[in-house]
Chain A
Amino acid sequence: MPSAHPPRRALLRFGAAASAAVSGSALLTACGSGPDSGSGKVVPFYTTESDPKSLAFYRSVIREFEREHPGVTVKLTLYSDENQLQYLQSAMQTGTDIGVFAPPASNILDWAVKGYLLPLTGMIEEVGEDDFLPGSRITYRGEDYAMPFQANASVLYYRKDLLDRAGIAPPETYEQFLGAVRELHGQGGIDGISSGAGNTPGMTTQFLAPYVYQSGWDYYGADGRVLFGEDEVLDGVKRHVAIMRYGRKGMFNTNYPDLMNTYISGRAAFATMAGRLGVNLAAQNPKVAEVTGVLPVPAGPFRTGRLAYGGKNQYSVFARTAHRREATAFLKALTTGTNALKFALTVPGHLVPPLKSVKDRLRAGIGESDDPYLVRHGDWVRTILDLVPDAMSPDMAMGSVVNGRYAGRQARPCPWAGKAWAPPPADAVMVQSILLRGEDPERAWRRAVDQLEWAGRDWRAANPKWRADA
């Protein structure tokens, strides 16, 4: 640490170190090999999963992998979710080897098209193409570019006690849902719903998407055409906004933790959220957890409750990584078999395995597990697991629902998702301006449609060679 020395010497040391590094790296470049060739191979592994349990899991997988692959070291690097885009892009620009990393969902296809990602087709075939849940792979022109490691589904958490007291049955249709939210809102300082909008990427979409899907449409079609402009979607938007009016104003520019805290602290009758809320709820407020039930979100007339929002996460391998074979081997070890199951159990119900075999093992094990969360709230996890195959997000599954037809979730990432959902995202602005500025829903919706159009048009103009995988 130069800072431990008198500053002038620190500067000298810095200068010396700098010149040494420059000549050193020049030499290495001349030899045309990575900085670690010769003595062992280093596989960099970049993740944002800073949860202590997940970290402990990663460290144990790394130890095991290093034992089985002598001469290979896996170097774990944590970076923050908040600034992942600028972090990854800065790293790429400085020629840092980011090895195995999790590209943001909305940039993944763009980066695949541009050649930043290594094709993983061979590995996916080894794992078994049939083992993947439909729509969980990311392919472009016949090649796979990512290994999914997490899927989830957003569900409706509700307070059984409050519904019972008001003599209302758990809602199964949108009308019942709206009625219950309206009825319970304001009683004893409680909000009808904890659901929100905000600039966090994908957050507004998480809450709005079920209403779009259950109106029989999607944001984009398979060919990238905007479907958000169909009339039924406007009805979906109105349904969503009608529910949102029974939340507090602070929720209209918020983040996940605030939304979760509202429900956890017992201040809302309903909340729409992924499995994480259940886990946190059980840990932080068991009393409310005891009187909480979980349902699919009934958001519209088409396949009511049976189409959900679900995010997913995947790892890719950097195209310019030094040791492709070792990196791919590590990725496989990390995301398949028993390790995949162990990972899923670090946050049960939130980290849903995208491999059928693993998911089935997880579901079958719920009854026998001695995990206190699964013992108490196994029914929540089952509801979520059953919903996951039909849970999707418009930036990763373009054209899954078209004109009242749904033939399973499609694996079709939107290549301009980064632009379409760049802050402030078009759908968030729409919801916020209706709720906060009292704008006419139809006008706000038309503007969102235009913005979704522009995002696609700009990207296609810059990447004329792109064709939708049909």
Chain B
Amino acid sequence: MTSSEVTSREVTATTQVRPPARKSVPAKKVRRGFSDRALGTLMLLPALLLLLVFAVYPFLASVFDSFFRIDFLTREHTFLGPDNYRRLWEDPAVRGAFGRSVLWVAANVVIQAVLGVAVALLLNAGLRGQSLARGLVLFPYVVPAVVAALVFRFLFNDTSGVAGYALRELGLSESLANPFADPATVLGALVAVNCWKYVPFVVIVVLARLQTLPGELKEAASLDGAGRFGIFRHVTLPWIAPALIVAMLMRTIWTAYDFDLPYLLAAGGPMDSSTTVPLAIRKLAFADQDLGLASALAVCVAILLVAGARLYLRAYRSSESALS
């Protein structure tokens, strides 16, 4: 795992920016319980154990499986070498799914970050009814994917769907009546529903971070004659940046593997126009019963995500050091 070594080195650098607290406290005055080392280990251990069993093990198992053909019942492994990877490369369906996934992730993350910050600022502007509005705006986030899919299907089904009806009454094109059935609109519609559900996630993170923004910073900036945009650009944005970047990193990974909403709303169709990588993986693993090939695809995506995560971590590091 060279890439994770690199990331850990980067983050080591991050933490070194801030001198560790221990050194600045005169040792003799401190009442010691556990030694720091023992306490730290103790605090980390349970989390570490869980991660090993449920994250590292499945990941390594996937990497291993990706070099084999596997019988589902007997789990008999037949070694194939890099064959699965070659087959992936040659499969036009997989390449198509890959392209759609890139589009899907980019659109979702960008829109969610921009709208998330905008809405958070709006909800932090001190408008009347602000706390009520905060609650109302964040609601979609707690709607489970199964329910969200159900509701949007209902709103946009073209038998009794009220949204389809409204759009048709307004004279908009017929295909808008059920955007999930049209290859031209389906991906856009899925992004829209996904953003409906997940913009509030970014809003929550950013709002919570905004609460800790020291008032003096803003005051100092306005004393320096900064306008509203200037304050945002030089005070607010840098302050929320670390939280926002972590939120975006999480959203990137989750969106890349988001299965429920796309599946429940369009099942990858019509044709394959909304088949993203996780749907392709499901098909390979369960419909085609080819666990090895599915694992190979997952490993490829994981490698890309590690690369993506590095970029985010780098941004995170610089945003943190910019603050201190």
Contact, chains A and B (beta carbon distance below 8 A) = yes
A residues sitting closer than 8 Å to B (CB atoms) are 11, 85-86, 89, 92-93, 110, 114-116, 197-200, 248-255, 258, 261-262, 265, 267, 418-419, 422-424, 428-429, 432-433, 436-437
The reply to whether the CB of B145 lies closer than 8 angstroms to some CB of chain A is no
Contacts of B272 in A (CB 8 A): 424, 429
B181 touches A252 (CB 8 A): yes
Contacts of A432 in B (CB 8 A): 183, 269-271
Contacts of A114 in B (CB 8 A): 71, 73
Shortest distance from the beta carbon of A176 to any chain B beta carbon, whole Å: 26
Contacts of A92 in B (CB 8 A): 72-73
**Which stretch of B121-129, B217-225, B280-288 is in the interface?**
B280-288
Rounded to whole angstroms, the CA-CA distance of A428 and B266 in the bound complex is 14
B183 touches A437 (CB 8 A): yes
- Besides the contacts A249-B181, A255-B267, what 7 more A-B pairs have beta carbons closer than 8 Å? A93-B72, A114-B73, A200-B267, A249-B177, A250-B164, A429-B272, A437-B183
- Contact check: which of B71, B178, B269 meets A249 at CB < 8 Å? B178
Rounded to whole angstroms, the CA-CA distance of A436 and B177 in the bound complex is 14
Contacts of B75 in A (CB 8 A): 93
- Contact check: which of B46, B159, B270, B283 meets A252 at CB < 8 Å? B270
A428 touches B287 (CB 8 A): no
Contacts of B268 in A (CB 8 A): 199, 423-424
Q: List 10 A-B contacts (CB under 8 A).
A: A89-B72, A92-B73, A115-B73, A116-B73, A198-B270, A250-B181, A252-B270, A423-B267, A424-B272, A433-B271
Contacts of B71 in A (CB 8 A): 114
Instruction: Number of B interface residues at 8 Å Cβ cutoff, please give it.
Output: 35
Rounded to whole angstroms, the CA-CA distance of A92 and B287 in the bound complex is 15
Rounded to whole angstroms, the CA-CA distance of A115 and B164 in the bound complex is 50
Q: Looking at B272, B283, B285, B286, which has the most chain A CB atoms within 10 Å of its CB?
A: B286
The reply to whether the CB of B14 lies closer than 8 angstroms to some CB of chain A is no
Rounded to whole angstroms, the CA-CA distance of A424 and B177 in the bound complex is 23
Known contacts A424-B269, A432-B271; is-contact A253 B181 (Cβ 8 Å): yes
Rounded to whole angstroms, the CA-CA distance of A200 and B264 in the bound complex is 11
Top-5 shortest CB links A-B: A250-B178, A422-B287, A253-B270, A250-B158, A253-B181
Rounded to whole angstroms, the CA-CA distance of A75 and B177 in the bound complex is 45
Tally of contacts, chain A with chain B, CB under 8 A:
102
Q: Which residue of A lies closest to B264 (CB)?
A: A82
Contacts of B158 in A (CB 8 A): 248-250
Shortest distance from the beta carbon of A462 to any chain B beta carbon, whole Å: 8
B178 touches A418 (CB 8 A): no
Shortest distance from the beta carbon of B259 to any chain A beta carbon, whole Å: 11
Shortest distance from the beta carbon of B119 to any chain A beta carbon, whole Å: 31
Rounded to whole angstroms, the CA-CA distance of A240 and B272 in the bound complex is 21
B72 touches A436 (CB 8 A): no
Contacts of A11 in B (CB 8 A): 46
Contacts of A110 in B (CB 8 A): 289
Contacts of B181 in A (CB 8 A): 249-254, 436
A418 touches B287 (CB 8 A): yes
Q: Which residue of B lies closest to A433 (CB)?
A: B271
Rounded to whole angstroms, the CA-CA distance of A261 and B267 in the bound complex is 19
- Contact check: which of B157, B182, B266, B275 meets A436 at CB < 8 Å? B182
Rounded to whole angstroms, the CA-CA distance of A250 and B152 in the bound complex is 13
Q: Which residue of A lies closest to B274 (CB)?
A: A253
Shortest distance from the beta carbon of A298 to any chain B beta carbon, whole Å: 25
A249 touches B182 (CB 8 A): yes
B174 touches A249 (CB 8 A): yes
A419 touches B266 (CB 8 A): no
Contacts of A423 in B (CB 8 A): 267-269, 283, 287
A265 touches B267 (CB 8 A): no
Q: Which residue of B lies closest to A107 (CB)?
A: B289
Contacts of A265 in B (CB 8 A): 159-160
B288 touches A422 (CB 8 A): yes
A250 touches B177 (CB 8 A): yes
Contacts of A248 in B (CB 8 A): 158, 177-178
- Contact check: which of B174, B186, B271, B287 meets A419 at CB < 8 Å? B287
The reply to whether the CB of B175 lies closer than 8 angstroms to some CB of chain A is yes
Contacts of A424 in B (CB 8 A): 268-269, 271-272, 275
The reply to whether the CB of B180 lies closer than 8 angstroms to some CB of chain A is yes
| B137-158 interface bits toward A, Cβ cutoff 8 Å, 1 = contact, 0 = none | 0000000000000000100011
Rounded to whole angstroms, the CA-CA distance of A249 and B270 in the bound complex is 11
| B247-269 interface bits toward A, Cβ cutoff 8 Å, 1 = contact, 0 = none | 00000000000000000001111
Rounded to whole angstroms, the CA-CA distance of A110 and B288 in the bound complex is 11
Q: Which residue of B lies closest to A318 (CB)?
A: B73
Rounded to whole angstroms, the CA-CA distance of A126 and B181 in the bound complex is 49
Q: Which residue of B lies closest to A418 (CB)?
A: B287
- Chain B contacts with A in 272-317, Cβ cutoff 8 A: 272, 275, 282-283, 285-289
Rounded to whole angstroms, the CA-CA distance of A423 and B285 in the bound complex is 12
Rounded to whole angstroms, the CA-CA distance of A199 and B263 in the bound complex is 10
Contacts of B186 in A (CB 8 A): 253
A93 touches B73 (CB 8 A): yes
Contacts of B183 in A (CB 8 A): 432, 436-437
B289 touches A89 (CB 8 A): yes
| B68-79 interface bits toward A, Cβ cutoff 8 Å, 1 = contact, 0 = none | 000111010000
Shortest distance from the beta carbon of A352 to any chain B beta carbon, whole Å: 28
Shortest distance from the beta carbon of A423 to any chain B beta carbon, whole Å: 6
Q: Which residue of A lies closest to B50 (CB)?
A: A11
Q: Which residue of A lies closest to B181 (CB)?
A: A253
Shortest distance from the beta carbon of A390 to any chain B beta carbon, whole Å: 29
B289 touches A418 (CB 8 A): yes
Shortest distance from the beta carbon of A50 to any chain B beta carbon, whole Å: 15
A85 touches B177 (CB 8 A): no
- Contact check: which of B160, B267, B271, B282 meets A86 at CB < 8 Å? B282
Q: Which residue of B lies closest to A252 (CB)?
A: B181
Rounded to whole angstroms, the CA-CA distance of A428 and B282 in the bound complex is 19
Shortest distance from the beta carbon of A15 to any chain B beta carbon, whole Å: 10
Q: Which residue of B lies closest to A196 (CB)?
A: B181
Known contacts A249-B178, A249-B181; is-contact A428 B73 (Cβ 8 Å): no
Contacts of A85 in B (CB 8 A): 286-287
Contacts of A115 in B (CB 8 A): 73
A261 touches B159 (CB 8 A): yes
B159 touches A267 (CB 8 A): yes
